[in-house]
Each structure stands twice: as structure tokens, then as C-alpha cells.
Amino acid sequence: NAGVTQTPKFQVLKTGQSMTLQCAQDMNHEYMSWYRQDPGMGLRLIHYSVGAGITDQGEVPNGYNVSRSTTEDFPLRLLSAAPSQTSVYFCASSRDWGMQYFGPGTRLTVL
């Protein structure tokens, strides 16, 4: 199993640009989440999904959209990038709300 994969590993955007961070898992997990990690802030939940077609907001959802059309994929869209969205983004999946498997992360810089 590849586990949780994320692409790209690094990305630089200009303010106002949009992009999609990709996340995929091959463990048939129902639960998937997106977090951002900033120095001194810890991991913060952006959006999560409890199954295909079902998404909900986490602690810091503004500026981000998600969709879950398949069990495997959970992309995160930045609609109009802002410097405040410079961060490391992690995708995670789990069978239930227990042990989470994290991807390797995407390091995003917005200029």
C-alpha cells in the first residue's frame, strides 16, 4: 500500500492565484482530513470528510474548498491564494476517528 499520498511536495503561488492540492489514499478509509501546520500553532483542521459526498468544515475553513467524489481522493482547493495561507498542508485518513495516517505534506508559499 502507498498509504496517503500528496502532490505537489512544494508549491509557490502569487497572491490571487488558485490551485488544488491533491490527496489520495489506498486503504479504503472513510474518514479524510486536511490540516495546516504553522510554527507555534500546531496542526489545525481545515476541512474533513466522513465518506464520499460528505464534507464539513473544521477549525479554519475560510479560503479553502473541498469535495469528495470518491473514497480515495480528497482534493483541497485554494480559491484565491493569500500570503496568510503560506503553510505546510497535511492530508490524513483513518478508518474511524481513531488512528490517523498522514501524508508527507505540501509546503506552500504565497508571495
DSSP state of 73: B
Judged by CB under 8 A, the chain residues 10 through 39 that form the site for other proteins are 33, 35
Interface residue with other proteins, options 17, 22, 44, 73 (CB under 8 A): 44
Q: Which stretch binds other proteins (CB under 8 A): 21-29, 53-61, 65-73, 77-85?
A: 53-61
Can you tell me which of 12, 41, 79, 111 binds other proteins, judged by CB under 8 A? Answer: 41
Size of the site for other proteins (CB under 8 A): 25
Which of 87, 82, 62 is closest to 16 using CA atoms?
82
- Rounded-to-integer distance, Cα 38 and Cα 94, Å: 23
Binding mask 57-86 for other proteins (x = CB under 8 A): -xx---------------------------
| Burial annotation 50-77 (CB, 10 A radius, 16+ → b, else e) | eebeebeebebbeebebbbeebbebbbe
Say how far apart CA 6 and CA 33 lie, in whole Å. Answer: 12
**Contact residues for other proteins (CB under 8 A)?**
4, 33, 35, 40-45, 48, 50, 56, 58-59, 90, 92, 97-105
